[in-house]
Each structure stands twice: as structure tokens, then as C-alpha cells.
Amino acid sequence: MALANAWRKRWLALGGTALLALAAGAAGWYVGGRPGTPAKPVVVLGDAARGTQGMVWVPGGVFRMGSDHKLAQPNERPAHAVRVKGFWMDQTHVTNDQFAEFVRQSGYVTTAERKPDWETVRVQLPPGVPRPPDDVLVPGAMVFVGTRRPVRLDDYAQWWRYVPGADWRHPQGPGSSIEGKGDHPVVQVSHEDALAYARWAGKRLPTEAEWEFAARGGLEQATYVWGNELMPEGQRLANYWDTRDTPFPVVKPVIDPKAGGAAGTMPAKTFPANGYGLYDMTGNAWQWVADWYRADFFALQARTAGKTVPDNPTGPVDSFDPDDPGVPMNAPRKVIRGGSFLCNQDYCLSYRPSARRGSDPHSPMSHVGFRLVKDVDGG
């Protein structure tokens, strides 16, 4: 049992219409201007005939990716020009109801529902960590459990636990449920799970550049997806942790993984859409994208591009994350974007369109979901 606990702790240390679309692209394309200047894009809804129902057209164009704002972390810097072509994007996260239909039709079993593959776990651990006994390698996922009182925010193992039996149907553990939450983002899905759903749906995950272009909704270098003020006219515009009510990560009562939790997602479309008609591009649940994560990728991309604007970049070929203690810097990481219900002004601050992190692609978490895109000529 001591070995099992030690291994778990180390693991924790490691979330005619085509013409209309073109016209919308011309109307919504925006490059210059002062930060936060509205581009007033035209919202173009998809339809069932093209397989784009529930999606909106994102026109593409040149934009400044990343940020040099005072809130920007080093991995978001520098702001640099990037070009993306137009694409369709899901208006919301993939929801529990949508994912349930995929599972019903395909019989798919998610990562959290399978026994962990030691090889995918081993690469996230320091060299030489021995394989744990089989009774530790049980299906489950990472769950936010909170704390009883304020704590230092330099050790997230205090508020995260690996919970056996946690999965997309039971996001906080065996005693929890998604009943009545069909319109919430599906969470506890790995990058592999998102790719499996995408293949079934005939779509794909967005690239990091596509995601950020879409999230900005036509606002050039705005701090938030709705503008430069966190709460315009006192209005909260995303699902994030409001530290005015409760300090992070205090949950009263402490979230019991066996009984479900108090903190979590909200229904899709709770808050207003951005300029392209996309909901919850920040807050609610982090979103997987296609790219591998390098903390230094924006700096590398800006430097290597020189005077040439990168065209539809697809990210680096490997991972590099020096900021996760106890995890090898080259351990596999995929980019997650948008922040979640846990982000707040004291910790994370990732409910901004430029914020980015890397996450273990084989580790589902209770605050990570996804949405998909589709090219004009298919997935």
C-alpha cells in the first residue's frame, strides 16, 4: 500500500451556402486596429445537409497569436502574426448527450474505463520509478476534490486525486452522475477519446492556431474573448472560479469523490457567444486541441518565421514542458486551451484566449473536454 500511495503521488506530480460562407469570411476577417477593436463578423450557422449542424463558420485570416499583455505567461509570448484558413467549428463543447450517443452507437470504451497502460504512465514519471502492483493500475481518472481550508497554491496534489471508477459518466467518482447534465461539456475524456469521437463524427480536433483564432471572435489581441474588461458592467461572462465568493481551492463541504461534487461545469450556452457565434471558448472546461505542447513554441515560431507569416501551423513535432515538477521535460503533452471552472485570479488565469497549457494525452481529468472542427471539403 505504501508503494501504491507513493506511485500515485508521483503520478499526480506529473488538464449557394459556400458563397455565403466566403462572404462571411470577408466580412469577419480582421487584422489591425487597437486591441479589442470589434471586427463585427457575420455569424454563419451550419446545417445538416453538409454535416455541419451545430457548427458555425470561422472565416480565417491573419491574426496576432499569443499575447504580450501583463497577464500573459511566458508560454504565451510573444504575440506574433499567424494565418489560418476558414473552417467550421462546433458552437459548444461536445456535450454529455452527444458523447453518450457516440458510445451507444460505437460501443467505445474510454481511457478512464480501461486499466491504465503502464507504458503511457511510465513516460510521465522520473526515470527508474518501478512498475506498481496490478492492484494500483485500476481504471479511474483525476478528480478535483478541493480542500477544507485555504492552502498554498504551489502543490496541486492537495486538491486533485486519482479516483478509481471516475469516468465520463461519473466525473467525480463512482457515487457521482451526469444525470440531468446532458447539455454540460463531457469531461473525463483523454486526447485519445477525443480523437475517437472525431473519427466517428467525421470531424477533427482544431489546431492550436485555429482554436485561438476562433476564440478571439474577431477581436484583435483582446484580453478576454468578450473584450478587455473581466466583468463589463459587473457581468460575469464565463464559468470560472469567483474568488470573491470562496478562496480557491476551498470547497465547503470538501468534495467527496464518492458522493459527487459541488464545483463543476455549467450547461453549454449559459453565457453569450463570441463574435463568430461560439459559446464557452473560455471557462467551463479546458479543450483538447491537436498540437503537441512546447512551452517555448510561440517564441520558436515567431523567431523562425521571420518576416514570413506562418500559414496554418500545426504545432511542434515533440513536447517540452519544464514547468511541471517531477515530470520529465520531454514527456508527451498535448495542448489544452480555454481554461475551466477552476481557473481564477489567484491561480491559473487561463480564461483568456491566449492562455495555453500542456496535459498528458492519456490522463482524463474532471475539468477537460473538447470541441471539433470540420474543413470546407470534409473533416
CB 58, CB 27: distance < 8 Å: no
pLDDT score of 306: 77
Just give the CATH number of 2-374: 3.90.1580.10
Tell me how crowded residue 310 is: count the other CB atoms within 10 A of its CB: 18
pLDDT score of 363: 97
CB 191, CB 362: distance < 8 Å: yes
pLDDT score of 60: 93
Q: How confident is the model over 197-205, as a mean pLDDT?
A: 98
Q: pLDDT over 70 for what percent of the chain?
A: 86
Sorted by sequence, the CB contacts under 8 Å of residue 1 that are 6+ apart come out as none
Q: Residue 289: which H helix or E strand, with range?
A: strand 286-292
Q: How confident is the model over 180-191, as a mean pLDDT?
A: 97
Confidence of residue 5 (pLDDT cuts 50, 70, 90): very low
Q: Is it the case that residue 26 has pLDDT exceeding 50?
A: no
pLDDT score of 34: 45
pLDDT score of 21: 36
Tell me how crowded residue 147 is: count the other CB atoms within 10 A of its CB: 16
pLDDT score of 378: 64
Residue with cell 450517443: 101
pLDDT score of 379: 63
Q: What is the DSSP letter of 230?
A: S
| Side-chain-side CA neighbours of residue 61 (13 Å) | 25
User: Distance of CA 55 to CAs 90, 137, 196, 243, 279, Å?
Assistant: 4, 39, 19, 33, 11
pLDDT digits (tens, 9 = 90+) for 307-350: 899 999 999 999 999 998 889 999 999 999 999 999 998 998 99
pLDDT digits (tens, 9 = 90+) for 44-59: 999 998 889 999 999 9
* 71/251: higher pLDDT: 71
Q: How confident is the model over 263-286, as a mean pLDDT?
A: 96
E strands present in 55-164: 55-58, 61-65, 80-84, 87-90, 140-144, 160-164
Question: Whole-model pTM?
Answer: 0.88
Q: Residue 59: which H helix or E strand, with range?
A: none
Q: Is it the case that residue 148 has pLDDT exceeding 80?
A: yes
CB 351, CB 274: distance < 8 Å: no
Q: Could you give phi then psi for residue 343, rounded to 5 degrees? A: -70, 145
Cis-peptide into 249, omega within 30 deg: yes
C-alpha cell of 130? 518501478
CA–CA dist 133, 127 (Å, integer) = 18
CA–CA dist 255, 243 (Å, integer) = 17
pLDDT digits (tens, 9 = 90+) for 151-173: 999 888 898 999 999 999 999 99
